[in-house]
């Protein structure tokens, strides 16, 4: 009963650790579990645990699940400090990897047994970018994506700094380097290990990251990018196609912009374009994903910055009725139309 022992450590300690107090077996569906994840809190760690002791068994566990060898998967997961639970949602099965102690530091990974779309949904900033973890889970389930990766720790949970390039003020300590607990800016995380494992296994898959930004004073709800500084007037890549679908759904071109399209620069917004995100650098062929931005897009990475009230919050508060919220519904419909299908006729999304 290690799960219970760790979580029954006192209310104050639970709040500090972000400990999950409900046994995964008690959740009825994959949706119930994936929309109720725990996360290690801000400034709660001096440093992230090193991944070297667990990287190999964690990777082996992921591959064993994909190979259908559950006995091996369970063995490797246990060696990595994880457990695997099977859940269903809407008649489909999912294998979900969770930390054995429920500490909310390492990522939660879910793998679809019968995926419909060649996509991997990722939420690297589940607490700071509020509701993006729940949004990622809903997109994963409704789109029938191959896999879901949700970071465990708050991006500011660890106090030490990532060696990777880029600076930010999101942790409240001025324009400082990113922290090691930020998996979008530190490849030495199990989040990135899962990303790398899946994107190598599925060589044409699209990695999609859900992010959030404060865009007050602007009419833009979505800023999308491919993780490079490449400019494409009239952008017709996946980034541009998803943007254009959102235009069609909402009937307003200023609601979504592409970092890659210089024609969009006339629209006033915060331009957050993900050139330092290590998963994007990885898929776009950077020679050093920690320090060097990629020059050319592979078309396999989609970074989406989203407004809170118009897009993200409904996923956290009322996801079962997502079609009633124009911005939230727009991104779901756009991705359903533009992501590559693994099964005939996969474009429609069941509500």
3-state secondary structure the chain: CHHHHHHCCCHHHHHHHCCCCCCHHHCCCHHHHHCCCCCCCCCCECCCCCCCCCHHHHHHHHHHHHHCCHHHHHHHHHHCCEEEEEEEECCEEEEEEEECCCCCCCCEEEEECCCCEEEEEEECCCCCCCCHHHHHHHHHHHHCEEEEEECCCCCCCECCECCCCCEECCCCCCCEECECCCHHHCCCCHHHHHHHHHHHHCCCCEEEEEEECCCCCCCCCEEEECCECCCCCCCCCHHHHHHHHHHHHHCCHHHEEECCCHHHHHCCCCCCCCCCCHHHHHHCCCCCCCCCCECCCCCCEEEEEECHHHHHHHHHHCHHHHHHCHHHHHHHHHHHHHCCECCCCCCCCCC
For the stretch 285-309, pLDDT in tens is 999 999 999 999 999 999 999 999 9
Short-list 145, 186, 37, 179, CA closest to 99: 37
pLDDT of res. 7: 33
Say yes or no to pLDDT of 146 above 90: yes
| Band of residue 15 on the pLDDT scale cut at 50, 70, 90 | very low
Dihedral sign, Cα of residue 243, residue 152, residue 108, residue 298: positive
| Nearest alpha-carbon partner for 211 in 146, 149, 128, 144 | 128
Q: Residue 251: what pLDDT? A: 96
Look at residue 10 and tell me whether its pLDDT is greater than 70: no
Residues of the chain with pLDDT > 70, as a percent, come to 93
pLDDT of residue 74: 98
Provide the pLDDT for residue 214.
Answer: 96
Q: In what order do the strands lie in the sheet with 256-258?
A: 82-89, 92-99, 108-112, 145-150, 117-123, 206-212, 301-306, 222-225, 256-258
Which pLDDT belongs to residue 98? 98
Tens-place pLDDT, residues 163-209: 999 999 999 998 999 999 999 999 999 999 999 999 999 999 999 99
Instruction: Return the CATH fold of 27-338.
Output: Aminopeptidase (3.40.630)
The pLDDT of residue 9 is above 90: no
d(C-alpha 230, C-alpha 225), whole Å = 10
Mean pLDDT of 23-31: 94
Rg (C-alpha) for the chain, rounded Å, is 19
Q: Give the separation between CA 106 and CA 98, rounded to whole angstroms.
A: 8
Confidence category of residue 350, pLDDT binned at 50, 70, 90 = low
* Per-residue pLDDT, 19: 57
What pTM, to 2 d.p., does this model score?
A: 0.94
List pLDDT tens digits, range 314-332: 999 999 999 999 999 999 9
pLDDT of 14: 42
């Amino acid at each position: 009963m290690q799960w219970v022992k760790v979580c029954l450590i006192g209310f104050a300690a639970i709040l500090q650790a972000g400990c999950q107090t409900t046994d995964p077996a008690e959740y009825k569906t994959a949706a119930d579990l994936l929309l109720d994840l725990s996360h290690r809190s801000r400034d709660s760690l001096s440093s992230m645990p090193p991944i070297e002791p667990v990287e190999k068994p964690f990777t082996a566990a992921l591959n064993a699940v994909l190979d259908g060898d559950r006995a091996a998967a369970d063995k490797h997961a246990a060696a990595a400090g994880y457990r695997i639970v099977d859940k269903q949602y809407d008649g489909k099965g999912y294998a979900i990897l969770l930390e054995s102690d429920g500490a909310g530091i390492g990522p939660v990974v879910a793998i679809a047994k019968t995926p419909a779309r060649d996509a991997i949904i990722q939420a690297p900033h589940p607490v700071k970018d509020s509701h993006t973890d729940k949004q990622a889970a809903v997109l994963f389930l409704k789109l029938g994506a191959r896999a879901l990766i949700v970071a465990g720790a708050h991006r500011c949970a660890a106090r030490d700094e990532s060696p990777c390039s880029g600076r930010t003020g999101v942790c409240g300590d001025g324009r400082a380097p990113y922290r090691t607990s930020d998996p979008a800016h530190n490849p030495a995380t199990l989040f990135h290990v899962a990303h790398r494992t899946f994107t190598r296994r599925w060589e044409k898959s699209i990695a999609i990251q859900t992010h959030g930004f404060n865009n007050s004073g602007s009419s833009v709800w979505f800023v999308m990018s491919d993780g490079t500084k490449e400019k494409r007037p009239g952008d017709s890549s996946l980034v541009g196609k998803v943007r254009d679908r959102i235009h069609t759904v909402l009937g307003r071109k200023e609601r979504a912009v592409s970092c890659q399209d210089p024609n969009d620069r006339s629209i006033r917004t915060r331009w957050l374009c993900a050139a330092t995100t290590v998963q994007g650098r990885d898929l776009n062929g950077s020679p050093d994903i920690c320090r060097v931005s990629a020059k050319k897009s592979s078309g396999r990475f989609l970074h989406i910055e989203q407004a809170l009230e118009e897009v993200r919050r409904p996923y956290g508060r009322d996801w079962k009725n997502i079609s009633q919220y124009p911005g939230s519904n727009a991104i779901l419909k756009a991705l359903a139309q533009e992501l590559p299908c693994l099964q005939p006729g996969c474009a429609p999304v069941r509500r």
